[in-house]
């Protein structure tokens, strides 16, 4: 057990103690007796300082040429590579992911750094003819201003990078408000940004409680954009405040992602996908597979295969090399998963395996839940509709391709989706008819890459996408510029008609 890591706020280039002296803790979910980090419970005064610092820095940062801004981000990519193992070890201890997955999380940040840095030399606008002679027309991208980035604990390096890097390369300044469960990872990440040498005030970090400082940052009149990833409930309130205060807002919320397995699928391949999609990161991804829609002709066989594989999964601390499934993040999430077991039973679902807290041996000090398969689930049940965010997958039987697609779409969410089939016609029909931001053919619902847009339709999001060039759209405004070099007044729509 190492000493707890002390986190501070980072404002205007300085590591600061907070105005109020209250200190909070993040604990190891595999061993709740271990305090991993301590962090300050910031108050509104700290938020004001961070916003003022970001506002001041914005005036200079927006004028730094984008290729030069990109060089700082490139440097962050190099430093993330250097500290990859240290970050992965901390992440595994702070939020429970197996080390291989934690390394993948940091790698996603590295990929995002090099990709976003490349955008510094692209960020293309358009030129187009004017309807007038001797007049030039073009569009240029301009930054938006001060951005509040509110990030979850499940990808504590990757998601802050997805937001911070495109925001910064576009010329915005940022304030990161990380989840209360992963202050240590956020602090290490911002230490790396500090080491990369960003000018003071361009990158800021404010720790604290979501309903307190998160809310204050969203409400602050000097913040121009809020990018939020988290629960649908919090996302609704963020959206509401931003609507009222006319801020740009980018929301990434829940999912109820399904994998379809058709009667013609390669079942071994579909099984690998289902186990990884449902139980990877202990099911705590917004892209996790929480529904398996199985064609009736393969359902029995596939269910047996799945049961066998699930029964062998090894639970443990993420930093134990044998571990395949880590803990649930905290006690309240564990209780939530337990509550859904009662709901499942009351609704008439059958718990084929799991369904209980795992207590045995070294698991007793952590928040472990057995990987769980729910059978006899129908589309109307709450366990088929609501996001559980744990190692729980619901099996739904269907009798046709059309029925499978209809059930997949029968949800308020629309993040990720998958179909396993060897029929090319079905694959293309699925690509067209599935209602989701992301569709995988013969791959699991998890595993998005940073150079493609990430996000969902329906109640998963609000029309924005992260990553890829879509992130550049989120963090810039278009400015349309007309240059008249005729030396006389030319009235659009009028003079060219006469």
Cβ of residue 277: shortest distance to ligand UN1, in angstroms?
9
Cα separation, 140 vs 427, in Å, equals: 39
31-40 vs 5-6, strand pairing mode: parallel
Residue 108 vs 219, nearer CB to ligand UN1:
108
Contact with ligand UN1 (CB under 6 A) among 154, 333, 460, 476: 154
Q: Which stretch binds ligand UN1 (CB under 6 A): 266-274, 350-358, 405-413, 440-448?
A: 440-448
DSSP state of 461: B
Residue 97 interacts with ligand UN1 (CB under 6 A)?
Answer: no
The catalytically annotated residue of 108, 286, 387, 397 is 286
Q: Are 73 and 117 in contact (CB under 8 A)?
A: yes
Contact with ligand UN1 (CB under 6 A) among 447, 451, 457, 458: 447
Contact with ligand UN1 (CB under 6 A) among 448, 462, 468, 471: 448
Residue 459 Cα distances to 231, 253, 396, 415, 437, angstroms: 11, 8, 22, 9, 11
Q: Are 390 and 284 in contact (CB under 8 A)?
A: yes
Known catalytic residue at 286: yes
The catalytically annotated residue of 94, 101, 119, 252 is 252
Q: How many CB atoms lie within 10 A of CB 259?
A: 27
Cβ of residue 459: shortest distance to ligand UN1, in angstroms?
15
Provide the phi-psi class of 468: left if phi over 0, else alpha when psi is between -120 and 50, else beta: left
Cβ of residue 179: shortest distance to ligand UN1, in angstroms?
11
Residue 285 interacts with ligand UN1 (CB under 6 A)?
Answer: yes
Residue 145 vs 160, nearer CB to ligand UN1:
160
Residue 165 interacts with ligand UN1 (CB under 6 A)?
Answer: no
Residue 156 vs 239, nearer CB to ligand UN1:
156
Contact with ligand UN1 (CB under 6 A) among 73, 110, 161, 286: 286
Cα separation, 211 vs 412, in Å, equals: 25
Residue 201 vs 283, nearer CB to ligand UN1:
283
* Residue tagged 């396993």 (tokens): 420
Residue 155 interacts with ligand UN1 (CB under 6 A)?
Answer: yes
Cα separation, 161 vs 156, in Å, equals: 9
Residue 286 vs 398, nearer CB to ligand UN1:
286
Strands ordered across the beta sheet of 5-6 = 5-6, 31-40, 23-28
Map residue 466 onto helix, strand or coil: strand
Nearest to 452 by CA among 469, 437, 433, 435: 469
Cβ of residue 447: shortest distance to ligand UN1, in angstroms?
5
Active site residues: 252, 286
**Contact footprint for ligand UN1 (CB under 6 A):** 108, 154-155, 285-287, 446-448
């Amino acid at each position: 057990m190492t000493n707890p890591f002390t986190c501070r706020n980072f404002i205007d280039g300085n590591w600061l103690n907070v105005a109020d002296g209250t200190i909070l803790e993040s604990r190891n979910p595999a061993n709740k007796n271990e305090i991993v980090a301590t962090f300050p419970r910031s108050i509104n005064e700290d938020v004001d300082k961070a916003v003022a610092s970001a506002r001041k820095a914005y005036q200079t940062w927006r004028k730094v040429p984008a290729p030069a801004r990109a060089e700082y981000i490139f440097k962050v990519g190099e430093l993330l590579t250097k500290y990859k193992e240290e970050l992965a070890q901390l992440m595994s201890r702070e939020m429970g992911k197996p080390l291989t997955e934690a390394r993948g999380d940091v790698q996603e940040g590295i990929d995002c750094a090099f990709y976003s840095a490349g955008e510094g030399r692209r960020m293309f606008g358009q030129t187009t003819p004017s309807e007038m002679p001797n007049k030039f027309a073009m569009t240029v991208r301009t930054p938006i201003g001060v951005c509040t980035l509110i990030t979850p604990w499940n990808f504590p390096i990757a998601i802050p990078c997805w937001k911070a890097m495109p925001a910064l390369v576009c010329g915005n300044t940022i304030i990161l408000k990380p989840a209360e469960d992963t202050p240590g990872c956020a602090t290490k990440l911002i230490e790396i940004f500090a080491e990369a040498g960003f000018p003071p005030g361009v990158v800021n970090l404010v720790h604290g409680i979501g309903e307190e400082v998160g809310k204050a940052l969203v409400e602050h009149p000097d913040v121009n954009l809020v990018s939020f990833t988290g629960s649908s409930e919090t996302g609704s309130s963020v959206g509401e405040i931003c609507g009222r205060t006319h801020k740009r807002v980018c929301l990434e919320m829940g999912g109820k992602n399904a994998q379809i397995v058709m009667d013609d699928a390669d079942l071994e391949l579909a099984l690998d996908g289902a186990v990884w999609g449902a139980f990877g990161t202990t099911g705590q991804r917004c892209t996790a597979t929480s529904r398996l829609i199985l064609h009736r002709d393969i359902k029995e066989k596939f269910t047996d295969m799945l049961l066998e594989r699930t029964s062998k999964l090894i639970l443990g601390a993420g930093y134990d090399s044998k571990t395949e499934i880590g803990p649930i993040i905290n006690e309240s999430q564990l209780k939530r998963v337990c509550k859904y077991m009662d709901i499942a039973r009351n609704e008439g679902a059958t718990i084929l395996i799991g369904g209980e807290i795992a207590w045995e041996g070294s698991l007793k000090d952590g928040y472990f839940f057995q990987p769980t398969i729910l059978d006899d689930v129908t589309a109307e049940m709450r366990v088929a509709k609501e996001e559980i965010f744990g190692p729980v997958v619901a099996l739904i039987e269907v009798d046709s391709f059309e029925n499978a697609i209809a059930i997949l779409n029968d949800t308020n969410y629309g993040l990720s989706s998958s179909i396993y089939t060897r029929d090319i016609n079905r694959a293309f029909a699925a690509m067209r008819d599935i209602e989701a931001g992301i569709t995988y053919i013969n791959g699991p619902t998890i595993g998005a890459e940073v150079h493609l847009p990430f996000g969902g339709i329906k109640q998963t999001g609000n029309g924005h996408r992260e990553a890829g060039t879509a992130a550049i759209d989120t963090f810039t405004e278009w400015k349309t510029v007309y240059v008249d070099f005729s030396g006389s007044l030319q009235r659009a729509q009028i003079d060219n008609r006469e």
